[in-house]
Amino acid sequence: MSEGALSQAEIDALLSGGGGDSSASAGAGGNEHERKILEAFLASSTDGVSANFSQLTSLTVSIKGPEVSFTNRDALLEHLPDTVTAVKADFNAGFPGEHLFLMGEETAKRLAGAMNNAEDIKMDEIALSSIGEMISNMVGAQITALTNKTGNKSIASVPPEATNVPKAVVALPGTDFACAVYQLDLGDGNAQQFWEIFGSSVAGGIAKALTEKPKPAVPPKNGAMGGMPMGGTGGNTMGSPTNVQSVQFPNLMPHATPQEQGNIGLIMDVFMEMTVELGRTKKLIKEILGMGEGTIIELDKLAGEPVDILVNHKLIAKGEVVVIDENFGVRVTEIVPRAERMNEV
């Protein structure tokens, strides 16, 4: 199985009833084919999500599973701790419908504390924002995998919004839904569960899309960030042509209330300056005055290090330089954690 995608052989096996036994039951809200396809797809991305969580928390995070079943509100509540951190991340395009994540309050505290280098953290706005950012990374990875597998480039979700509430008030789907149960190890060998919920229409739409023949991808006309021409090169001088693909990135906007989201919508068409910084250095005035053609300036970046991506001079991401046709571009490789962006002077 490849990262984030099912092979045709795997899909054929699932549709014919193969793929091994599972302890999870399809239930009344879905069928066994949908359950197996969704479970296999989600399992294919756990290694990548584990790596993302490890990078965000500086812990050795391992995610196993999931086991997928179709269940209902009452049955799920029996397995949840009394207080949970719920992250709403509904799909609003591609497979529109209900989508959310649940984890125990203590699990959320450990993750948020690790992200913010804090002990005995409270589930305040900063902690909830940190959990929302982690889930945003996970959803982004899933959307990218679905886009690559199905060819559907319209798949999108709302910005994940985290709340810490008693389990009885969690806004679960009103009808039967698909529930994926993951085993989360934060490096101490103690597995903790967290749950991913898909409305029945979302689960069915994803399963159907994964079994259909994908539409041929249309290369973007301009896949690079920025457009710095390579004057006089007449082509790619850095080896073979760069393969440009559509990529889904985690949302960088802070989690907002519906009223705040409406206000943000008023400035969506405002231009912001985006720059890519290769490196910096400091020179004495006499050194600057002594510069001429052929002078080599050594920067504070090592060869091969990621370049900085800034919006209005604020660091938001890191990336690697690519060449597309005769233009330089940057492929985003890392989103700077929210806490680091907030603390940056």
CATH code (residue 187) = 3.40.1550.10
Instruction: Answer yes or no: do 239 and 194 share one domain.
Output: no
pTM above 0.85, yes or no: no
As for how many domains the chain has, the answer is 2
pLDDT for the residue numbered 21: 38
pLDDT for 131: 93
Q: What is the mean pLDDT of residues 11-36?
A: 54
- Same-domain status, 164 and 20: yes
Phi and psi torsions of 185, nearest 5°: -115, 120
- Write down the pLDDT at residue 12: 53
Residue 27 has pLDDT above 60, yes or no: no
Same domain, 313 and 178: no
The beta strand positions in the chain, using DSSP E, are 62-71, 83-88, 91-93, 99-104, 156-157, 161-166, 177-185, 191-199, 228-229, 274-277, 307-311, 314-324, 327-335
Q: pLDDT for 280-299, tens place per residue?
A: 899 899 888 888 888 888 88
- For the sheet with 314-324, list strands across it: 228-229, 327-335, 314-324, 307-311, 274-277
* 311 domain-assigned: yes
Average pLDDT over residues 84-88: 95
- Residue 43: which residues within 8 A CB-CB, separation 6 or more? 1, 65, 66
Q: Do 178 and 90 fall within a single domain?
A: yes
- What is the average pLDDT score of the chain? 80
Average pLDDT over residues 209-222: 65
Asked whether residue 237 carries a pLDDT value surpassing 60, the answer given is: no
Q: Which domain holds residue 60?
A: 8-211
94 pLDDT higher than 50: yes
Let me know if residue 2 belongs to a domain: no
Both 144 and 234 in one domain: the answer is no
* Confidence band, pLDDT 50/70/90 cuts, at residue 13: low
Interval 226-242 mean pLDDT: 46
Q: Is the dihedral of CA 304, 309, 224, 299 positive or negative?
A: negative
Q: Which residues contact 215 (CB under 8 A, 6 or more apart)?
A: 150, 151, 152
Specify the pLDDT at position 83: 94
Q: At what angle do helices 32-43 and 200-211 cross, to 10 degrees?
A: 80
Q: Where does the pLDDT of residue 142 fall: very low under 50, low under 70, confident under 90, or very high at 90 and above?
A: very high
